[in-house]
Amino acid sequence: MTDATHDTTARGKPGPMLAADGTPLKRSLARALRMQKIRALLLIAPLLLFVLVTFIAPIADMLFRSVENDIVANTLPDTVEELASWDGASGETPSEAVYQALYFDLFIAAEAKEHTKLGTRLNYEQTGISSLFRSTGRNLDDLGKDYQKTLKKIDKSWDDGAFWYALMSGEGGEEVLESHRLQYMQLIGQSPRSIISRFWCVIRGIFYKACPTALEDIDLNFTPSAEAAQMLPATVAAYSDFAVFTVLADGDVVAEEDPWEAVYAAFAQDLNAPGTVEKIQSYSGPGQAELLAVTENLADLPAPDFKTTFLDIDKDWGKIENWQTIKIYSPKYTSGYFLNSVDLMKTPEGIDARPENQRIYLKLFKRTLFMSLVITGSCILLGYPVAWILANLPARKANLLMILVLLPFWTSLLVRTSAWKIMLQQQGVINDTLVWLGLVADGNRLVMINNQFGTIVAMTHILLPFMILPMYSVMQTIPPTYLRAAKSLGATNWTAFWRVYFPQTVPGIGAGSILVFILSIGYYITPEIVGGTTGTFISNRIAYHISSSLNWGLAAALGTILLGVVLLLYWAYDRIVGIDNVKLG
């Protein structure tokens, strides 16, 4: 090595090595290797794609779901904005402006039937919110209806959709409209079409049939008048919501529909805003006369009191806790699910422990780990002798025994678990036998199912092959001469086993333990069937949140923690035992 360096320095200019065609050797090598790599990549591409799509993507989605929380901001965008200035720890309900924003946010949400989803989501954090949202959604119309009646009395045309359309339409208000269109799309969980999906739609249009027009491309046949927006901002905003919804959701024509009650409420609010009357008096567009008529009857149209309206609908809108919950969960990302997973919760003052009676997850995690360890341990104890016999029996008998070991693999998991139910239950085979033998009194039958014991027994049985097979394959490679050598050196049977044979089987035990432990930590069906309440695992809770409570965020957070625990243990195992010491075959 040193000689070579000396040589090149001695010659002065080392210069790069050249390949036969004159290109630097390094570059030709890189090119040759690149071709190989690309070919290899192409070869594994189908599998890679399959794994990515079916495995990595769902896990990534799960990780994302565990922190994702945009439903509050999407459903109540203006409310969230207004709430920012409210101090949740002040002990006072939010200001009128918040209730006002909530009214309009909730109105369109209720029309789109999205408010119940938000209610469900917030209900995970604060019970009662779900019904609060549902009942409120039904009663939002009343406020506007009163104004509508009053206006109708002043002038018939206020009850006419076409009149409203004429009043609101004009030029220059595109920006207002588009912002409301975007809000609506967020509300129903749609984002504008990306370049990629537009490109895909072009291709799809050529070969199959065109995509439906994107929501952002649909012509609403309505442009708010900038003048009206300047004069009656809340009304134009509410009317824009109405227009967007009428076209995009119902597929109707804006001019032919009567506006929402919310538009009347907004109108009343605008009328009572300072300066509006002056603006109306100097206004000269469509509906000038009707507007002037209204300004003369202002006394009949008091400003709406949104807060009182909400409190009348449901007094829970005056509960600070509900507002705190909305505020805490208004950011687009939250650590709430994770905190929840470890029995903590967010409060306006910061992170705090959950009340005693709500702490279940840490206990479940601990129980899952503990029981998985016990199951792994009993698998080792039961599997080791079997693997040993398998490895030392003549081939024909070993094959027969192997079939017995593998038999559980060929039987449905459900059948095996149910069989254990029959075996272990109080009127079951084992109890019957014990009673018959007189070992247990008839009135005193053992409880062996629907508890930890049942889960451990059934899962040990089910996971045993995963322990036996790696142990067997390792033991098979240990020649019997080692034991003989140990004995010839003066070791007793036990010493020979313990000092010579056992250490060589540790890689097999390690492999089996990793398999069994990781499988059992995420096991679901067996604990569900035989676990009762004390024998269930964290995975049962995850399944519950996925299929019953539909709290996918919490399920995702629990799953992510489980994944983290497994990776952590794997890492620890690698540090302590060394992963190259694991032999699966």
Contacts to other proteins by CB under 8 A: 479, 481-482, 484-493, 495-496, 499-500, 503-504
- DSSP letters for 144-173: HHHHHHHHHHH-GGGG-HHHHHHHHB-SB-
| CA-to-CA dists, residue 137 to 23, 109, 122, angstroms | 75, 8, 15
Return the number of the residue (496 or 561) whose C-beta is nearest other proteins.
Answer: 496
Residue closest to 385 by CA, chosen among 231, 505, 483: 505
The helix/strand/coil state of 572 is: helix
Smallest gap from Cβ 581 to other proteins, in A, equals 10
HEC string of 510-556 equals HHHHHHHHHHHHCCCHHHHHHCCCCCCCHHHHHHHHHHCCCCHHHHH
Smallest gap from Cβ 487 to other proteins, in A, equals 4
Return the number of the residue (409 or 498) whose C-beta is nearest other proteins.
Answer: 498
Return the number of the residue (358 or 581) whose C-beta is nearest other proteins.
Answer: 581
Smallest gap from Cβ 443 to other proteins, in A, equals 53
- Please tell me the distance from the alpha carbon of residue 145 to that of residue 294, in angstroms, as a whole number: 16
Smallest gap from Cβ 502 to other proteins, in A, equals 10
Residue 101's beta-bridge partner residues?
Answer: none
Smallest gap from Cβ 506 to other proteins, in A, equals 8
Is there a contact between 327 and 116 (Cβ–Cβ < 8 Å)? no
- Please tell me the distance from the alpha carbon of residue 463 to that of residue 458, in angstroms, as a whole number: 9
**In b/e form, how buried is each residue of 482-496, taking b as 16+ CB within 10 angstroms?**
ebeebeeeebeeeeb
Instruction: Provide the token pair at 109.
Output: 């949400």
- Please tell me the distance from the alpha carbon of residue 299 to that of residue 182, in angstroms, as a whole number: 36
Return the number of the residue (238 or 496) whose C-beta is nearest other proteins.
Answer: 496
Distance spanning both ends of the chain, measured CA to CA: 41
Smallest gap from Cβ 574 to other proteins, in A, equals 19
Residue closest to 257 by CA, chosen among 245, 265, 271: 245
Smallest gap from Cβ 488 to other proteins, in A, equals 4
Is there a contact between 522 and 567 (Cβ–Cβ < 8 Å)? no
Smallest gap from Cβ 381 to other proteins, in A, equals 22
Return the number of the residue (391 or 424) whose C-beta is nearest other proteins.
Answer: 391
- Please tell me the distance from the alpha carbon of residue 326 to that of residue 126, in angstroms, as a whole number: 9
Return the number of the residue (55 or 498) whose C-beta is nearest other proteins.
Answer: 498
Is there a contact between 273 and 230 (Cβ–Cβ < 8 Å)? no
Q: What is the DSSP letter of 67?
A: T
Return the number of the residue (185 or 496) whose C-beta is nearest other proteins.
Answer: 496
Return the number of the residue (38 or 489) whose C-beta is nearest other proteins.
Answer: 489
Return the number of the residue (293 or 483) whose C-beta is nearest other proteins.
Answer: 483
Smallest gap from Cβ 399 to other proteins, in A, equals 20
Smallest gap from Cβ 388 to other proteins, in A, equals 17
Return the number of the residue (27 or 484) whose C-beta is nearest other proteins.
Answer: 484
- Please tell me the distance from the alpha carbon of residue 177 to that of residue 221, in angstroms, as a whole number: 11
Return the number of the residue (287 or 510) whose C-beta is nearest other proteins.
Answer: 510
Is there a contact between 99 and 311 (Cβ–Cβ < 8 Å)? no
Smallest gap from Cβ 508 to other proteins, in A, equals 13
Give the DSSP H/E element, type plus range, for residue 109: helix 96-111
Return the number of the residue (167 or 474) whose C-beta is nearest other proteins.
Answer: 474
- Please tell me the distance from the alpha carbon of residue 366 to that of residue 345, in angstroms, as a whole number: 19
Smallest gap from Cβ 353 to other proteins, in A, equals 48
Instruction: Provide the token pair at 542.
Output: 């995850």
Which residues make Cβ contacts (< 8 Å) with residue 541, sequence separation at least 6?
360, 361, 364, 558
Smallest gap from Cβ 498 to other proteins, in A, equals 11
Smallest gap from Cβ 495 to other proteins, in A, equals 6
Residue 68's beta-bridge partner residues?
Answer: 333
**In b/e form, how buried is each residue of 430-466, taking b as 16+ CB within 10 angstroms?**
bbeebbeeeebeeeebeebbbbbbbbbbbbbbbbbbb
Return the number of the residue (313 or 486) whose C-beta is nearest other proteins.
Answer: 486
Instruction: Provide the token pair at 286.
Output: 């469509």
Return the number of the residue (191 or 488) whose C-beta is nearest other proteins.
Answer: 488
